[in-house]
Amino acid sequence: MLGFVDIHCHLLPGIDDGSPDWETTLAMAQMAVQEGTQTIIVTPHQLGNFAHNRGDDIRRRTQELQQTLDQNQIPLQVLPGGDVRIEDGMLEKLTSGEVLTLGDLRSHVLLELPHELYFPIEGLLAALERQGMTGILSHPERNRGLLREPNLLPNLVEHGCLMQVTAGSLMGTFGSASQQLAEWMISQGLVHFVATDAHGIKSRRPLMQRAFERVEKLAGKAMAQSVCIQNPGLVASGKQVRAGRLSLPSRGWRNFFSPKKIA
């Protein structure tokens, strides 16, 4: 089995609320490799409160990180990217390269909603598609608006949105409501990627193995390989990921899960 590919990880030191320094970054990288991860797309926050993070600086820092990993004999490939807050003017900045696509390959954009609310993004998805790009919604299972209205998720997937859930959500790190929604999404074929969204070595760590095993238990090994290895590997290569629901094994539990709206 090929190694994990993590498309959402705050590994660059001192650039956002992720790794604060090189010591932490190297420890996170070693932890990821021990988990079986072979490629990480570094995704510092862009736009919103992190409008100062520009594309060229992220590219330069990513090259420096790769050199440092190589010098320390840590067998990990890193690629530049961004965790992009949805806001006005985003599309123009993506087009210019000031805001980064995943892997800097102009194929996939990691989209972040405000945590406390949801607003419609179908128009944005269509605008990205016209530019040859596909939107990936990061951690929808942690968005308060989607937790209140989980039945919005299938419609988004039908509109071509790809979905990335956080590995820790499947383990209950973000609470039972997020865990339940993540598991329901897996059971409905609504998840295209599992990624760590790692920020450090004490909490929100770059751990993938237990999440892989959880997906395997919920939906089979083929699904676990798709969302943890194959689909993220396609993103890291700039290749298309099939939109829509993922196919599921024929099991009687598919309709057993049902998300509960939260207040």
- Quick one: pLDDT band at residue 263, thresholds 50, 70, 90? very low
- The pLDDT of residue 220: 96
Residue-range domain boundaries for the chain: 4-236
Is residue 253 over pLDDT 70?
no
Q: How far apart are CA 62 and CA 76, in angstroms?
A: 12
Mean pLDDT of 98-125: 97
Is residue 250 over pLDDT 80?
no
- The pLDDT of residue 216: 97
Q: What is the pLDDT of residues 20-76, one digit of tens each?
A: 999 999 999 999 999 999 999 999 999 999 999 999 999 999 999 999 999 999 999
Q: How far apart are CA 124 and CA 145, in angstroms?
A: 18
Mean pLDDT of 2-10: 96
Q: CA angle, 141 as apex, 135 and 143 as ends, to 5°? A: 80
Residues in Cβ contact with 24 at an 8 Å cutoff, skipping those fewer than 6 apart:
13, 200, 201
Q: What are phi and psi of 193, to 5 degrees?
A: -145, 145
- Quick one: pLDDT band at residue 237, thresholds 50, 70, 90? very high
**DSSP reduced 3-state for 173:** coil
- The pLDDT of residue 144: 97
Task: Give the Å distances, CA to CA, from 56 to 80, 89, 90, 97, 261.
Answer: 10, 18, 16, 8, 41
Q: What is the pLDDT of residues 200-229, one digit of tens each?
A: 999 899 999 999 999 999 999 999 999 999
Q: How far apart are CA 232 and CA 42, in angstroms?
A: 13
- The pLDDT of residue 249: 77
- The pLDDT of residue 2: 82
DSSP state for residue 86 in the 8-state scheme: P
- 228 with 154: CB under 8 angstroms? no
CATH class of residue range 4-236: alpha beta
What is the percent of the chain with per-residue pLDDT over 70, rounded to a whole number?
Answer: 94
- The pLDDT of residue 256: 45
Residues in Cβ contact with 253 at an 8 Å cutoff, skipping those fewer than 6 apart:
187
Contacts 24+ apart (CB under 8 A), 18-21: 18/44, 18/198, 18/199, 18/200, 19/199, 19/200, 20/200
Residues in the chain: 263
Mean pLDDT of 156-166: 97
Is residue 172 over pLDDT 50?
yes
Is residue 244 over pLDDT 50?
yes
**DSSP reduced 3-state for 218:** helix
- Quick one: pLDDT band at residue 260, thresholds 50, 70, 90? low
- The pLDDT of residue 255: 47
Q: What are phi and psi of 32, to 5 degrees?
A: -65, -45
- pTM: predicted TM-score of the whole model, two decimal places: 0.94
Q: How far apart are CA 217 and CA 192, in angstroms?
A: 16
What mean pLDDT is reported for the chain? Answer: 94
